[in-house]
Structure 1
């Protein structure tokens, strides 16, 4: 599988710059947990590296990069700290969706400052009522990761007509002065993500600042008129669910590296001073875990590559492939978490110490597992049902 994006020097420079930041990001992991948000310094350094512009339109100073390059950077960041990788992923992907909005909305976000960032909460827990020229939006949304580092938010909401009937499901884009952040993030995993609540109280949202999820489900959006790159013709759910799986795979990558290093130094007192690295069962566990991590990554990126090939040929992406993306995305998360579990169980008591990557990755990965995008039964049921010839709700893939 070809993942070579080195031909684009600017993108390659971003990837290299991100990798230069990894030791410092890892050193700040404890600080992120203590603060319950990513340290400002880390966000600033990632901004300066160009990371947040990878999926941003070139018209607004972005790179319109290969999504595999973006996911590679996310994986590497998460291998240094899970919370930083998680926030980088979900905040870093939002320019891709903003590029699908009407240009009026894009101009409002990036016209004055091309470094503007957005957080999100897509669960349709808010209520929008149709009015002249737009919608009145109210509600409370949870789990808006990285919201303290952002000046706009993307919110999911059901649209009601005057008769009180649901007529659409949309994403609403709101500036910082029109919503409240409520600090509720006191958790055991992904502690540094600052995934707080968002409250909106009867705010008018113009039509241009909304995007129908039905339209994005068909790989369409008004922003495609001005952002013509093939990047913005990929399926929303393929990009966004991969955004959730990738940091978990990155956590597994980091956990694997620390486990190998620890075992090379470890002497097992219970086995008469045997070096852990000489234990044949430990070697087998490493082999199995590394294979699961590699498989998760290869399938995730391989599917994205297949979708890109269809877009490049101007062909519609088959439903089976889009569902396969979801199948391998949720199972990629499962593979990565099971690899972390296996490595953690075999690492000995020292892995329990505060400050070790392994115990943090174990907590962070299991916290990431509860995200709706990582619900394996629903994603796998869709794939299996399609294989049996049953009709699948297009909004679900």
Structure 2
């Protein structure tokens, strides 16, 4: 089997040469790279005049890159998202993919990979996979919080059972609604795209932007729920080994991924609704 990691941000520089490109650069946040045998790296392609002519993904074998062990973080510690360094390596044209073509579902591999999965917009799937683990963390934090509160006796409140606190009941109701809404919207949008693909119809830009809108807000809803539950779980939630503190750390670490930038995604959606042209981006 082939194991790949990636870092799609175009921080690399590629120059055109016979049969391919010369690639150099440094990429951060390549999750799982220590276990991979290849890596997919984003880079801008420059012509002989020094002008950018494309944004491509380059597939690089393990012997042609270095891993810098820099992943010392407070959340998502297990992802091993270290840095990748490439120094003047030749990449054949066949080992590259134009991101503009990918975004339009026009990748060359679609001649051979005819499943409906490969007809879905890359950015819709990619950004959703960044969001949904955080929603999963929120579901886990919710279950842990409810279990803890059912057992908890609040000494500071004369031995009151936490589960009998009406404010605690309101809190979990709000949290569960936020988490369910995040998941339902994410899945509904992907189902809409799948339904169009199955009918052989194109996926309109408005739906792609809706996916992004609900993805970033779903991330925020999930984190808001985790925050509310964590803050109301008492001092024991701070202990090493409790799921709540881990979910809190990991969710906030996941939130800083570029795909979870709410302002950029929401601006694109709003501008489209007003009839403005949307520049190519992560949609």
C-alpha contact 1:147 1:194 (8 A) present in aligned 2: yes
Instruction: Give the structure 2 partner of residue 174 of structure 1.
Output: 60
The reply to whether residue 379 of structure 1 matches residue 265 of structure 2 is yes
1:294 equivalenced with 2:141 (yes/no)? no
Q: Is the 8 A contact 1:386 1:392 kept in 2?
A: yes
For 2:261 and 2:122, locate their aligned partners in 1 and report how far apart those are by CA, in whole Å. 17
For residue 365 of structure 1, the aligned residue among 228, 251, 259 is: 251
Q: Does 1:162 align with 2:162?
A: no
Alpha-carbon distance between aligned partners in 2 of 1:136 and 1:391, rounded to the nearest angstrom: 34
1:268 equivalent in alignment to 2:187 = no
Correspondence 1:69-148 to 2 at 5 A = 115-148=1-34
Whole-Å separation in 2 of the counterparts to 1:367 and 1:264: 29
> Which residue in 2 is equivalent to 1:223?
109
- Bigger helix share: 1
Q: Secondary structure at the match of 1:285?
A: helix
**C-alpha separation between the residues in 1 aligned to 2:2 and 2:147?**
39
**Displacement after TM superposition at 1:396 (Å):** 3.2
Task: Give the secondary structure class of the aligned counterpart of 2:281.
Answer: helix
* Contact 1:333 1:374 (C-alpha < 8 Å) held by counterparts: yes
Aligned partner of 1:321 in structure 2 is 207
Superposed displacement of residue 205, structure 1: 0.7
Distance 1:395 1:375, change over 3 A: closer
| Paired residue secondary structure (1:163) | coil
**Which aligned runs of 4 or more in structure 1 are off by greater than 3 angstroms?**
none
Q: Aligned pair count? A: 283
Distance 1:249 1:220 in 2: 31
Match of 1:336 among 222, 225, 228: 222
CA deviations over 1:231-256 (Å, ceiling 9, x no partner): 10000110000110011011101111
Quote the Cα distance in structure 2 between the aligned partners of 1:290 and 1:194.
Answer: 31
- How many Å separate the matches in 1 of 2:281 and 2:173? 39
Partner of 2:134: 248
Q: Which of residues 65, 74, 77 is equivalent to 1:188? A: 74
Which residue does the alignment assign to 1:395? Answer: 281
Deviations 1:10-59 (A, max 9, x none): xxxxxxxxxxxxxxxxxxxxxxxxxxxxxxxxxxxxxxxxxxxxxxxxxx
Quote the Cα distance in structure 1 between the aligned partners of 2:182 and 2:260. Answer: 13
Gaps of 5+ in 1: 1-114
C-alpha distance in 2 between matches for 1:210 and 1:395: 19
| Cross-structure match for 1:103 | none
Question: Structure 2: how far apart are the matches of 1:281 and 1:133?
Answer: 66
Shift of 1:394: 2.8
Query: 1:339 and 1:396 mapped to 2: Cα distance?
Result: 26
3-state secondary structure, aligned to 1:214? helix
Query: Which of the numbers 185, 191, 195 marks the counterpart of 1:309?
Result: 195
Matched, 1:354 2:222: no
Rg (Cα) greater in structure = 2
Distance 1:148 1:263 in 2: 40
Unaligned residue ranges in structure 2 (runs of 5+): none
Asked if residue 236 in structure 1 is aligned to residue 122 in structure 2, the reply is yes
Structure-2-length-normalised TM-score: 0.99
Distance in 1 (alpha carbons) for counterparts of 2:57 and 2:217? 27
TM-score of the pair, normalised by structure 1: 0.71
2:169 matched to 1:283?
A: yes
Deviations 1:167-194 (A, max 9, x none): 0000101111111111001111111111
User: Which structure's residues are more often strand, by fraction?
Assistant: 2
Look up the SS of the partner of 2:127 in the other structure.
Answer: helix
Superposed CA RMSD: 0.7
Q: Is the 8 A contact 2:172 2:229 kept in 1?
A: yes
Question: Aligned equivalents of 1:134 and 1:333: distance in 2?
Answer: 39
Q: 2:223 touches 2:251 (CA, 8 Å); kept in 1?
A: yes
Rounded Cα–Cα distance in structure 2 between residues aligned with 1:286 and 1:396: 34
> Does the 8 A contact of 2:219 with 2:255 survive in 1?
yes
